[in-house]
Structure 1
Amino acid sequence: MNIAPYMTPYKYGKPVLTGSGLPDQFDQNAVDCPFVFQHQDRFYMMYVGFNGIGYQTALAVSEDLLNWEHHGVILERNELSNWDSKNIAGTWMLRENELEAPPVLKKWDNKYWLAYHSYPEDGYEEGSAKIGLAYTEDENLLEWHRLPDPILTPEEGEDWEKGGLYKECLVEHDGLFYLFYNAKNKNTSGWVEQTGLATSTDLKTWTRHGDNPVLRVSEEGWKSAFVSDPCVLRSKDEWVMFFFGYDYRRAQEGVAVSSDLFNWEAYPEPIIRIGAEGEIDSTYAHKPTVITHNGVLYHFYCSARPSQDGDRTRNNNGREFRTITVAASRDVFEQALPGGMSDEASI
């Protein structure tokens, strides 16, 4: 397995996006789950904010992939009794498949499509999440319409996914839609998360793959508890899945390859490891979104470390500083650092 084209050994080492830390803001505690793409000659990042009560989903914009500004909340909590009224975490928009091509969105039925999941209770990932879809015809990507019912639920799944369904990756190839998602086997401590697949011809009716999960945990090592958060793209003559592995202590990024989208072989070692003590990803380096720009591979991920004095945000009962950062295939950060984010933005 040749993973050299997928390696991003140069870490920026600073957040590119941090929660606001402001009371009553959707991202008071943390930001999470980046999804980066290109639209109308700008870079966009869809991301999730957490305020101690629930998840909401927003967009940020950038001209250089390093300096990001909040653009607007696109999926909000509400006071209704719908299945997705308390939490709504958008994780993927239908985009062009090629890793080496510009990461632009593509339409189906003259609409842009977004996959998300929702937890049924207030709090941090409380309850068994379900998966839904939303669409828009708004070229500004600010007004989204959710389908009324979830497209996948844990109750209809197998034992490995009965605890809830999470981060989605939606791919269209040769007229067939592939929905990759990770799921957990139970809601109590010590659960196992693995990655499964469902397919559809119309985005409405979905059929789970008969040999799920398509990416499974290992018996031991860095991915013995989770193989989660798939990011699936096409690279020349193979498909590549970026994901993260977890061993109940630390989360690190990995990669798997496939010739047919159904059968996957994971590389045995992490491709992005956690940082040293005190670095922004010393606990978790996980939840990938990967694009190519000007011949450089940019691997965005959620970073976490223990809280320190001066941190703008605090998550997980005040113990964690959770932000979004990036690594690259070439050292493109050295010249960007002096003119990059202000000290306040890099807290």
Structure 2
Amino acid sequence: MRISKSRIQLLYSIIISLSLVNMASAQRIDGSQEISLETVKKWSAPYRGWHYHPKHVIPKKPNINGFEKVNKTDVPTIFQRPGDPKWYMSFIGFDGKGYQSFLAESDDLVHWSQMRLAMGYGKKGEFDYGGRVLGAYLYEDYGIKARRTLKKKDGKFWSLYGAYAKQGAYEIDPGYEGVASSKDGINWQRAKDQYILSIHEPDVGEWEKDCIYMPWLVEHEGLFYNFYNAKKMPQWIEQIGLAKSTDLLNWKRYPNNPVLRVRPKGYDEKFCADGKVFRDGDHWVMFYFGVGRGHAHIMVAFSRDLHHWVADPEPLYKAGGHPSGLDRNHAHKISLVWNPKNETYYLFYNAVGNKGRGIGLITSKPLSPSKK
């Protein structure tokens, strides 16, 4: 059968059109949509070009009454309480034995005071005796510019937390995760006596078999998502996995973990860790830290469905960016919040450099001198 030239041209046009549709959607067999590097660059652009606050907002030795031995601070997380205009920051302090979670408050996101204990050590012999790291809060809204307002469920506020069973050093393996609750958002206690995630469950993966680290909590369409980093030895590779729950108390790992993996020779060739996930328009954004090329850097990845992630190969912020040397060793473990008063992103992070390990701040716009 002969096919006319016009029909061949028509068929060719149809094939090209279908190809363009497929390229635009980049649909995988599993139903997820691929995200092109061009799109990744477009989505990451609003989170570049930072301005420096000159010093730690929480120093390595914050001089908290009754906790004078604290000499390192870490893991900032911002939240607000319903009906309360103040900003709150939870952070951990290391006193030579382990981690405890503290709280500070602020009217302007720059000057922090009223520091006190939020959740201390667990009982001896239990999974959180070596320390508790609050910071994976249940929020009312996970929008990138939303208030970081704590949400009540069953009459209480909720947070997942990282934990260690042993005292005596910084993050002694194997690490656990627990779940905490609070009536006021200030004082926190266990909501479940048993840990919720560890290396001891039968579904633990080879990639996470040596230590479980910090969680991050997202609620979406009736499900709770826990993004957590975990370690495999002897190379000490950390990657990010996902677990799901319907009640915050019982969790099941996602079978295709890890959802974010290290990349050879990249800025995240050793670690992909401490992911913080928010909704940005029609997609999700994960801020995480990568370890590669000798330092820890602030990185970003994107997803349309919370399961399949594509990371930007270039850091949002490299260690050593601060002109004073405040983060010349590491820049990691972020908390991002939008301040509607001055339409500015405030990015709190663990800045490790010539002033020790403390909480640093960079902003999307320069702050006025009065704010510094």
TM range (shorter): 0.7 to 0.9
What residue is the counterpart of 2:282 in the other structure?
237
Q: Is the 8 A contact 2:122 2:132 kept in 1?
A: no
Q: Which residue of 2 aligns with 1:299?
A: 347
Cα shift at 1:203: 1.3
SS at match of 1:84: coil
Aligned to 1:9: 50
Partner of 2:193: 148
Structure 2 counterpart SS, 1:263 = coil
| Residue 136 (structure 1) aligns with | 182
**Partner in structure 2 of residue 343 of structure 1:** none
- For residues 257 and 68 of structure 2, the distance between their equivalents in structure 1, rounded to whole angstroms, comes to 35
Structure 2: gaps of 5 or more residues = 1-39
Structure-1 residue corresponding to 2:328: 282
Question: Counterparts of 1:172-251 in structure 2 under 5 Å?
Answer: 172-186=219-233, 188=234, 190-247=235-292, 249-251=294-296
Does the C-alpha gap of structure 1 residues 92 and 231 become closer, same or farther in structure 2, counting only changes over 3 Å? same
Q: Does 1:28 align with 2:70?
A: yes
Q: Any conservation in 2 of the 1:184–1:193 contact (CA below 8 Å)?
A: yes
Tell me if the contact between 1:8 and 1:297 (Cα under 8 Å) persists in the aligned partners.
no
Higher deviation after alignment, 206-215 or 326-335: 326-335
Tell me the amino acid that sits aligned with residue 9 of structure 1: W
Q: Does 1:88 align with 2:129?
A: no
Secondary structure in 1 matching 2:80: strand
Higher relative contact order (CA 8 A, sep 6+): 1
Task: Give 1:108 deviation, angstroms.
Answer: 1.9
Residue equivalent to 2:79: 37
1:74 maps onto 2:121 in alignment = no
Distance across 1 between alignment mates of 2:63 and 2:142: 37
The CA deviation at 1:6 is 2.5
Q: Is the 8 A contact 1:133 1:146 kept in 2?
A: yes
Task: State the Cα distance separating 1:29 from its structure 2 match.
Answer: 1.2
> In structure 2, the residue corresponding to 1:4 is in which secondary structure?
helix
Query: For residues 157-202 of structure 1, what are the alpha-carbon distances to aligned partners after superposition, in whole Å with 9 as ceiling and x for unaligned?
Result: 111111111111101111100000000012x5x3000000000111
| Residue ranges of structure 1 left out of the alignment (5+ in a row) | 308-320, 338-347
Contact kept in structure 1, 2:325 and 2:354, CA below 8 Å: no
Q: Following TM superposition, by how much is the alpha carbon of 1:144 offset from its aligned partner in structure 2, in angstroms?
A: 2.6
Q: 1:286 to 1:85 in 2, by over 3 A?
A: same
Return closer, same or farther for 1:248/1:191 CA change in 2, 3 Å cut-off.
farther
* Matched residue, 2:218: 171
Q: What displacement does 1:27 show? A: 5.8
Change (3 A) 1:6 1:22: closer
Percent identity reads: 35
**How many residues were matched structurally?**
321
**Cα distance in 2, alignment partners of residues 299 and 147 from structure 1:** 32
Matching residue of 1:328:
363
Cα 1:70–1:172, aligned 2, differ >3 Å: closer, same or farther?
Answer: same
Deviation string, structure 1 residues 267-323 (Cα, Å, up to 9, x no partner): 11000112257511011110011111112111110000145xxxxxxxxxxxxx000
The Cα shift of 1:140 comes to: 4.9
- Residues 1:71 and 1:254: Cα distance change in structure 2 (over 3 Å): same
Contact 2:231 2:238 in 1 (8 A): yes
Residue-by-residue CA offset, 1:240-271 (whole Å, 9 max, x unaligned): 00000002620010111111100111011000
4+ residue segments displaced more than 6 Å: none
Is the 1:195–1:228 Cα contact (8 Å) retained in structure 2? yes
Q: Distance in 2 between matches of 1:333 and 1:44?
A: 21
- Counterpart contact for 1:225–1:245, Cα < 8 Å: yes
C-alpha distance in 1 between matches for 2:68 and 2:101 = 8
Q: Distance in 2 between matches of 1:26 and 1:57?
A: 14
Instruction: Specify the SS of the correspondent of 1:160.
Output: helix
TM-score by length of 2: 0.82
Other structure's SS at 2:46 match = helix
1:303 maps to a residue whose letter is: A
| Cα RMSD for the two superposed structures | 1.9
Residue 155 of structure 1: SS of its match in structure 2?
coil
| Residues 125-148 of structure 1: CA deviation (Å, up to 9, x unaligned) | 1121011101122x2522433410
**Residues 143, 271 of structure 1: alpha-carbon distance in 2 compared, 3 angstrom cutoff:** closer
Task: Name the aligned partner's letter for residue 134 of structure 1.
Answer: A
| Range moving further from structure 2, 39-48 or 75-84 | 75-84
CA distance in 2, matches of 1:71, 1:278: 26
| Deviation of the 1:21 alpha carbon | 6.3
Q: Does structure 1 residue 110 correspond to structure 2 residue 155?
A: yes
CA drift of 1:111 comes to 1.5
1:225·1:248 contact (CA, 8 Å) conserved in 2?
Answer: no
Report SS of the residue matched to 2:153. Answer: coil
SS at structure 2 position matched to 1:116: strand
